[in-house]
Structure 1
Amino acid sequence: MSDQEQVTVDGLERAAIFMMSLGEKEAAAIIRYMEPKEVQRVGSAMAALSHVTHEQIDRVLGSFAEAVERETALGLDSEEYVRNTLVEAFGVEKAVNLIDRILTKPNSKGIESLKWLDPRAIAEIFRFEHPQIVSIVLSYLDNDQAAEVLKYFPEERRADVLMRIATLDGVQPSALQELDDILERQYAGSFSLTSPASGGKETAANILNFLDADAEQKITEAIQKVDEALAEEIQNLMFVFSNLLDVDDRGIQTLLREVPSDTLLLALKGADQDVQNKIFKNMSKRAADMLRDDLEAKGPVRLSEVEEAQKAILAVAKRLADEGEIALGGSGGDEFV
């Protein structure tokens, strides 16, 4: 397989192809151990699959190719497959809500159900609630989902909410009661805490990491006007593109397998030489030479496009770190894997 071919199928699509290549019960057994956002991502990718070739299967599954040839579900209707698999994994009652989220629209109950909802829908639910309530809600969500929700709030409210997240230290009972009332009105169901809202400066920094560069800058500037020291602490905790220098070579190699070549090209267009060298070092000589040539040949690009590409790569890096695939602190060997 060529270096270009290796990056044409991203990790999510590979996971979808793998799941669609299993029987429904086997796929359901895997889904049971996934987090809500993982089920949503993989389920949506499975539903969207079409025209999967044997060559793609061979590339994705490798040593599993022979088993896939004996038993494949790729010929089935994608939506029907997803429905059957989710019912097998979760039972009819729970699967119905999840199927609505993936194939139609959200329809669920309780605080945990917020993780299954579209970010715009969550923003609508809490649009007119007190910023402290919003900060508690966003602290319960995964960082990328919280960032997406924040995008749908008016610009003037974003910095206030993020500052409250950064300074969140425990949750007052009155705030929990108010949140309970909101969710009860919305879903006719009760709210119960399964774990405390994390909050804190690190949570605020992680949410900022998932915002686009323009939104990030505006929120940071707004926080600086109110509390310059807090803004500096949050910025110091953020994971930026130059921090890839701290990722070990094994981690960079794992990351590169997940990043589309066009995204990498754009991101490196605005990266400093040390970061570029780190990337080149962890590619084959042929792939590195091709990328260098493409960088030289590519004309001027908008800074916003470069920042967007870098954000996309950082999001992949943080996902891999969450999955235990790489370490963002930089430890490990230099061998290729």
Structure 2
Amino acid sequence: MALNGAQKAAALMLAIGEETSSRLFSRMHEDEIRDVSAAMSQLGTVQASAIEELCGEFVANMASAGNLVGSFETTERMLLKTLPKERVAQIMEEIRGPAGRTMWDKLGNVSEAVLANYLKNEYPQTVAVVLSKVRPDHAARVLALLPEGFAMEVVMRMLRMETVQKEALEGVERTLKAEFMSNLARASRRDAHEMMADIFNNLDRTAEGRIMAALEERNRDSAEKIRGLMFTFEDLQRLDGASVQMLLRTVEKDKLALSLKGASEGVKTMFFKNLSERASKMLKDDIAALGPVRLRDVDEAQAAIVTLAKDLAAQGQIQMADGQEAMVG
């Protein structure tokens, strides 16, 4: 049978014996150990001829590489020839420590329901650190699934959080049994209210209204700051005519119809008046043809259009009516 990379490694390690294999395992990354172990447990019988061929392939690959030895020490010496000592120390600390850069990507691939179910049993400060580091849209979905009182404790800690201390990240690392870049502890972070505005932008309107109302009771100033930094579907009315035309040329027509199903008359009028009479009638017909729709579907369509508007603004293609860039934060 044809073996993939992990299966080849598993077969080779079985062939060289437990003692040598255990030393190799001790030098592997956790993900590599998991992949090789999984392949090893499911390998089944491998013919002697296949093992012989595999060993030959391994020796040939080693021979073609020449006498090269990669290590922390050789890497550090090479970096020191071209980079400042402080920068090299930072890079080596990232390399020597757990490979934290991929940690948040991994968390981003975890179902929000699974992540919320796990985090609801953790300290609010731990959850605040996690949600401050993952993507705002993912953080919003997790936050919406947390118990209301607990979610508010998390929000309050995120608002009060300054630079994330190394000790806090190490605590989260132990709690999640995962990996963090050590330099995240020193990384400066943007304004907490801007971060929360991004998260609130990604909440559905029911969760947003519930959490915002609770926040107003706890901290009205913070609630007002967050609301001022948010850019919502209704804020599209602040776009000038040329920007609306650009948005209309870019947006998916089915998303536009769905988003307007639950929009205010002001937003609907803005879009209709920037279309030809024929196109405006067709859009109205499309909206009417939708019939009853789920509020969640409308929210998702509106969020997609807001995201598109933000992207266009970042590219300088759309502006506010007063000449300012369309997006903040």
1:94-123 Cα distance to aligned partner (Å, 9 max, x none): xxxxxxxxxxxxxx9415431343142654
Check the 8 A contact 1:140/1:197 in 2, yes or no. no
2:221 corresponding residue in structure 1: 229
Assess if the C-alpha contact under 8 Å between 2:237 and 2:270 holds in 1. Answer: yes
2:138 matched to which residue of 1? 145
Asked if 1:262 is matched to 2:254, the reply is yes
Q: Secondary structure at the match of 1:148?
A: helix
**Relative contact order, higher structure (CA 8 A, sep 6+):** 1
Equivalent-residue separation in structure 1 for 2:123 and 2:320 (angstroms): 35
Structure 1: runs of 5+ lacking an equivalent? 1-107, 333-337
User: Of 128, 152, 165, which residue of structure 2 is paired with 1:159?
Assistant: 152
Decide whether the 8 Å contact of 2:237 with 2:267 is kept in 1: yes
Task: State the 1:209 CA deviation.
Answer: 0.8
% identical equivalent positions? 38
Q: Deviations over 1:248-281 (max 9, x none)?
A: 3343233334433233223223333332232123
Q: Which residue of 1 aligns with 2:209?
A: 217
- Equivalent AA in structure 2 for residue 156 of structure 1: G
Pairs aligned (count): 224
Who is 2:269 aligned against?
A: 277
**Which structure would you say has the larger Rg?**
2
| Residue 180 (structure 1) shift | 4.3
Contact 2:119–2:127 under 8 Å retained in 1? yes
Classify 1:331/1:132 alpha carbon distance in 2 versus 1 (closer, same or farther; 3 Å): same
Query: RMSD between aligned alpha carbons?
Result: 3.4
Are 2:103 and 2:178, in contact at CA under 8 Å, matched by a contact in 1? no
Q: 1:123 to 1:241 in 2, by over 3 A?
A: same
Q: Which runs of 5+ in 2 are unaligned?
A: 1-97, 325-329
- Please say if residues 111 and 191 of structure 1, whose CA atoms lie closer than 8 Å, have aligned partners that are also in contact: no
Letter in 1 for 2:103: S
Paired residues of 1:213 and 1:307 also in contact (CA < 8 A)? yes
TM-score, L = length of structure 1: 0.55
Summarize the alignment of residues 1-337 of structure 1 with structure 2, pairs less than 5 Å apart: 109-116=99-106, 117-120=108-111, 122-123=115-116, 126-182=119-175, 185-187=177-179, 191-193=182-184, 195-295=187-287, 299=291, 305-322=297-314, 325-327=317-319, 331=323
The alignment's TM-score, normalised by the length of structure 2, stands at 0.56
Change (3 A) 1:243 1:135: same
Q: Secondary structure at the match of 2:256?
A: helix
1:133 counterpart letter in structure 2? T
